Amino acid sequence: MTKKVQFMDTVLRDAHQSLIATRMSTEQMTPILETMDGAGYFSLEVWGGATFDACLRYLDEDPWERLRTIRRHVKKTKLQMLLRGQNLLGYKHYPDDVVESFIEKSIENGIDVIRVFDALNDLRNLITSVKAIKKYGGHCQCCICYTISDIHTNEYYVELVKGMDKMGADSIAIKDMAGILTPAHAYSLIKAIKEVTDLPIQVHTHTTSGIAEMTYLKAVEAGADIIDCAISPFSGGTSQPATESVAIALEELGYDTGLDLEKLKEIADYFRPIKEEFRGNGLLNPKVMDVEPNTLLYQVPGGMLSNLLAQLKEAHKEDRYEEVLKEVPIVRAELGYPPLVTPLSQMVGTQALMNVISGERYKMVPKEIKDYVKGLYGQSPGPISEEIKEKIIGDEEVLTVRPADLLEPKMQDFADELGDLAESTEDVLMYALFPQLAVPFLKKRKDPFYDVPVQMVTVTYA
C-alpha cells in the first residue's frame, strides 16, 4: 500500500516572513490563489505569526480582510494559521475572553486549522485556545516547540503529546523553528510519538542549517503525515525546503503526495518575478539565503542570528558577535532551557547581548526577563539557576498559577476605549493586540485624509 504524505505550503505566511520580513501584499497573492487551491495541498499557511502586525505596520492593509479575500478564492484547500497560545499574535499574555474572541473570529473569517503553541511548552497556556478552537469548529493542531537540552528528551516530548491528546488535539505539529532537528532525532522522535497516539503528525523545519531535506525524508520514513514546504522561489535559506523538489523525490521513493506538478510549476513561475522584485528593492537580504551551520552549534534560529547582528551594529559592537553567540546557550541553560521561539528567542538573545556589552553578566536585565523569572510567562521547562534568580528578582515570589488566571476580562474595556472607531469585533481585536498600529489605521479608514503620524523608534544602550 502506497504511503500518502501531504504538504502544507508556507509561501503565503512563513516563507515570506522568513525571507522578506512578511512584506508580500494581498494584491500580490490574489491572482495565483485559485491555482494553489487546485494543486493538491493539505493546507495553505496564510495567517498568524507576523502577518497581522506586518499588514498594519508596513502594508496599510486590514489583516482580517486579507483572510477573507484568501478564503473567497480558496474553496477546497484548508487554510491554516499559527497562533502563540495565550499570546495570540503578540508578545504578552491576553485575558481568556480576548483569546476566545480572537479564535472565534479567525474561524468565522476563514481559518480551518489553527496550529497553536506555547513558547515554553507549558500546556496550561494552551487550555483556553484549545477549548475555543474546538468550540467554534476549527481543527486544533497542538504544537511542540522543538529544542535541544538535557531535559528535552524524546520522553519529555512524548509526555507533552499525551497531554495534548488528552486536551483534545486533532493533530500534532513538531515546530523546529531553528532548523536544528537532525534526521536521526526526527526519526526517533516521530517513532516514539507514534507509539502513544494515532493523531496525524505534521513536521515544520527551516533550511537554515542545511539539513532540512534529510530531516524530512527521515521524518516521512518514521511515519510523519504532513510536511511544511515552500514553493521554490520562496524556499531555502531561513525558509522551508522547496515543495516541488521534495515532492518529486518522495514520489520517486513510492510515496503519494497528491500534488499536481504542472500546477506547482505554474505557481513557481508566478512567484519568481515577485521574489525578484523584492531582491531588487533590497527587502530580500542575500544573507538570509546562506547556510548557517552555527545554528546547529548554538541552537539559535536564523532570524535571531540576524537580529543579534543588527543590535550589535546599532551599538557599534559588531566585533562581539561571536561572544554573544557563545553566551546565548549559557543564558538559556541558566534560565531553565526555554525554547528559542518568539518571544523567548528575543528575550534570551537580548539578555546574552547585554551580558556581553555591559561587561558584567546580568548587570542589565530587561523587564521581560524579570517577568519570565517571576513565572509570568509560565513554567520554565527546567529549573532556573538559583544564583541567577536571586540576581534578577532577589527574594520576590515566583508565581505558580496559570499566568492568565491573573488577568481580568478586557474585551469590553477595549471596545469602550476604541469607541466609534470600531465597526466590528475584528476592529476591537486589532486594537487589543496592536493598539498603536490599530488606532491610526482605523482613523485613516474613517477619514481618508487623516494624516498618520510617523512612528519613531529609539534604541539606547548603556
Q: Provide the pLDDT for residue 449.
A: 79
Confidence band for 314, pLDDT divided at 50, 70 and 90: confident
Confidence band for 2, pLDDT divided at 50, 70 and 90: low
Buried b (16+ CB within 10 A) or exposed e, 136-157: bebbbbbbbbbbbbeebeeeeb
Which residue's C-alpha cell is 522547496?
Answer: 242
Crossing angle for the helix pair 183-194 and 212-222, to the nearest 10 degrees? 20
**Gap between the Cα atoms of 378 and 312, Å rounded:** 29
Which CATH code for domain 3-286? 3.20.20.70
Helix (H, G, I), strand (E, B) or coil at 364: coil
Helix (H, G, I), strand (E, B) or coil at 41: coil
DSSP labels for 176-221? -TTS---HHHHHHHHHHHHTT--S-EEEE--STTS-HHHHHHHHHH
Digit-coded pLDDT (tens) for 51-76: 999 999 999 999 999 999 999 999 99
Cell of 63: 489583516
Instruction: Tell me the CATH class for 300-404.
Output: mainly alpha
Residue 10's closest CA among 224, 143, 261, 207? 207
Confidence band for 460, pLDDT divided at 50, 70 and 90: very low
Helix (H, G, I), strand (E, B) or coil at 151: coil
**pLDDT of 129 over the 60 cut:** yes
Digit-coded pLDDT (tens) for 143-165: 999 999 999 999 999 999 999 99
Residue ranges per structural domain of the chain: 3-286, 300-404, 411-461
> Which span out of 12-26, 99-113, 296-310 was modeled with the highest average pLDDT?
99-113
Q: Provide the pLDDT for residue 17.
A: 92
Q: Provide the pLDDT for residue 302.
A: 65
**Gap between the Cα atoms of 320 and 328, Å rounded:** 13
**pLDDT of 298 over the 80 cut:** no
| Rounded alpha-carbon distances, angstroms, from residue 391 to 10, 214, 332, 396, 454 | 42, 43, 15, 11, 39
Q: Provide the pLDDT for residue 452.
A: 61
Higher pLDDT among residues 251 and 289, named by residue:
251
Q: Provide the pLDDT for residue 306.
A: 67
Mean pLDDT of the chain: 93
Confidence band for 315, pLDDT divided at 50, 70 and 90: confident
Predicted model pTM = 0.93
Higher pLDDT among residues 238 and 448, named by residue:
238
Q: List, in order, residues 6 or more apart from 391 with CB less than 8 Å away.
A: 362, 365
Strands (E) located in 274-338? none
Q: How much is the average pLDDT of 164-189? A: 97
Buried b (16+ CB within 10 A) or exposed e, 335-369: bbbbbbbbbbbbbbbbbbbbbbbeeebbebbeebb
Q: How much is the average pLDDT of 264-292? A: 92
Which residue's C-alpha cell is 534570551?
Answer: 348
Terminal Cα distance for the chain, rounded: 64
Question: Do the Cβ atoms of 49 and 17 come closer than 8 Å?
Answer: yes
Domain 3-286 and domain 300-404 have a common topology: no
